[in-house]
Amino acid sequence: MAKTTGPLLSLGASGSVGKTLTYSTWKGVSYVRQLVKPTYRNTTEQMAVRDIVSDASIAWKNGTTVGATAIDAAYKLAYTEAAQGQALSGFNLFMKDCMSINLVDTVGVKSYTGTLEIATAPGVLV
Q: What is the pLDDT of residues 63-91, one digit of tens each?
A: 888 888 889 999 999 999 999 988 889 99
Residue 59 has pLDDT above 70, yes or no: yes
* Domain assignments of the chain as residue spans, ordered by start: 1-37, 44-111
pTM: 0.66
Write the secondary structure of 33-71 as one string of H (helix), E (strand) and C (coil): EECCCCCCCCCHHHHHHHHHHHHHHHHHHHCCEECCEEC
